[in-house]
């Protein structure tokens, strides 16, 4: 049965089942990245008269190409791949497995899932009114890029210590709590490293070229010249993307904002072109962030990049 993997995972996580307790507010969602749409909702909780505000994330049907998921059969016996729905079921099961096990101050907690909004389970989290970390930086002139960068780094360090690559690190995948704490979200691309080596490729990056590492854009480090290595997302590509995310906090803009198309961004990265240090850095703290953190994260050779532990 193609849906058995997801069915088993939902049974294992039955304590997180919020079906029937969640209601949407309005019918229009907003983009939640390459693979989901976000709706505001409320969850009935205790004696709260209206219910707690939550975010309801609905997955889109085309999460991973069938051809890529077929390769998982070699490393994960029992995984069935054929129709797109099956791929989606498996991807959701894996995301549930990863996210439900995470517990860290800089990871957005998964409150649960609901089966009431369509063919796939939806993910339910607390609603973050501050929006993304870039929204927060733009709206709060006193916000500290350094403190936010430290929080993001701590969340990534935690993931890497659990042998998980996030694979889509960028400002839009970091929300900010009411207390000003950065929280990593969107584990739709995240994979346990043993799995990522099998199924991840540049096709899975969701079009986020601006944060993609040199080796993912066709650049092959000298240490691999004699090897035939297919680029995959790794802890080192997360570190590169972290540097790009810090650059967003410092510039309040996307990386390579002067380049308007993905083609030009991809071409620039593959040639080793890095973002220029902005002239708008306001303090020695910000200059240090750019020169010591961003530049070290953007080393062409992955093994020359710092680990997230090094950065902290």
Q: And the tokens for 309?
A: 């532990």
* CA-closest candidate to residue 250, choices 288, 224, 299: 288
- Residue 115 buriedness (CB in 10 A; 0-12 / 13-18 / 19+): middle
Q: What is the pLDDT, as a whole number, of residue 225? A: 44
Give me the pLDDT at residue 68, please: 43
Other Cβ atoms less than 10 A from the Cβ of 260: the count is 9
- The pair phi, psi for residue 307, each rounded to 5°, is -85, 170
At the top level of CATH, the class of 133-311 is mainly alpha
Length of the chain: 312
Q: Which two tokens stand for residue 225?
A: 């010249």
Q: Is 310 helix (H, G, I), strand (E, B) or coil?
A: helix
d(CA 84, CA 71): 15
Token match 């949407």: residue?
Answer: 24
Sign of the Cα torsion 238, 130, 111, 121 reads negative
Q: Per residue in 219-241, pLDDT tens?
A: 655 455 444 455 678 999 999 99
Distance (Å, rounded) from C-alpha 79 to C-alpha 93?
A: 11
Please check whether residue 24 is in contact with residue 117, taking contact to mean a CB–CB distance below 8 angstroms: yes
| Sites in the chain below the pLDDT cut of 50 | 2, 63-85, 194-207, 222, 225-228
CB 36 within 8 A of CB 172: no
Distance between CA 157 and CA 164 in Å, rounded? 10
Q: Are 79 and 5 in contact (CB under 8 A)?
A: yes
Q: Exposed, middle or buried, 137 (CB in 10 Å: 0-12/13-18/19+)?
A: buried
Q: What is the pLDDT of residue 204?
A: 40
Residues 105, 150 contacting (CB under 8 angstroms): no
- Neighbouring residues of 233: CB distance < 8 A, sequence distance ≥ 6: 165, 167, 189, 191, 196, 200, 204, 205, 216
Q: What is the pLDDT of residue 88?
A: 67
Q: Map out the domains of the chain as residue ranges.
A: 4-126, 133-311
Which residue from 92, 83, 64 is spatially nearest to 204, judged by alpha carbons?
64
The per-residue pLDDT for 65 is 46
CATH no., domain 4-126: 3.30.200.20
User: Is the full-model pTM beyond 0.75?
Assistant: yes
């Amino acid at each position: 049965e193609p849906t058995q993997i997801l069915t088993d995972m939902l049974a294992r996580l039955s304590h997180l089942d919020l079906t029937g307790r969640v209601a949407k507010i309005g019918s229009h969602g907003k983009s939640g990245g390459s693979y989901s749409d976000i709706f505001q909702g409320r969850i009935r909780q205790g004696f709260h008269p209206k219910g707690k505000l939550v975010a309801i994330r609905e997955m889109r049907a085309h999460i991973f190409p069938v051809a890529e998921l077929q390769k998982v059969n070699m490393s994960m016996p029992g995984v069935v791949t054929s129709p797109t729905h099956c791929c989606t079921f498996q991807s959701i099961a894996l995301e549930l497995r990863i996210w439900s096990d995470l517990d860290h101050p800089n990871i957005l907690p998964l409150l649960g899932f609901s089966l009431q909004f369509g063919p796939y389970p939806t993910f339910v989290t607390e609603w973050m009114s501050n929006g993304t970390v870039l929204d927060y930086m733009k709206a709060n002139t006193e916000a500290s890029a350094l403190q936010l960068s430290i929080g993001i780094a701590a969340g990534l360090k935690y993931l890497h210590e659990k042998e998980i690559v996030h694979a889509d690190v960028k400002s839009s995948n970091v929300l900010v709590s009411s207390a000003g704490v950065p929280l990593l979200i969107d584990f739709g691309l995240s994979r346990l490293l043993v799995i990522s080596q099998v199924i991840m490729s540049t096709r899975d990056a969701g079009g986020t070229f601006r944060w993609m590492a040199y080796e993912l854009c066709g650049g092959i480090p000298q240490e691999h010249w004699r090897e035939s290595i297919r680029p995959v997302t790794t802890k080192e590509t997360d570190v590169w993307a972290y540097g790009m995310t810090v650059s967003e906090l410092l510039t309040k803009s996307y990386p390579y904002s002067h380049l308007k198309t993905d083609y030009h961004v991809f071409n620039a990265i593959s040639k080793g072109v890095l973002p220029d240090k902005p002239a708008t850095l306001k303090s020695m703290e910000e200059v240090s962030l750019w020169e010591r953190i961003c530049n070290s994260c953007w080393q062409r050779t992955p093994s020359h990049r710092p680990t997230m532990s090094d950065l902290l």
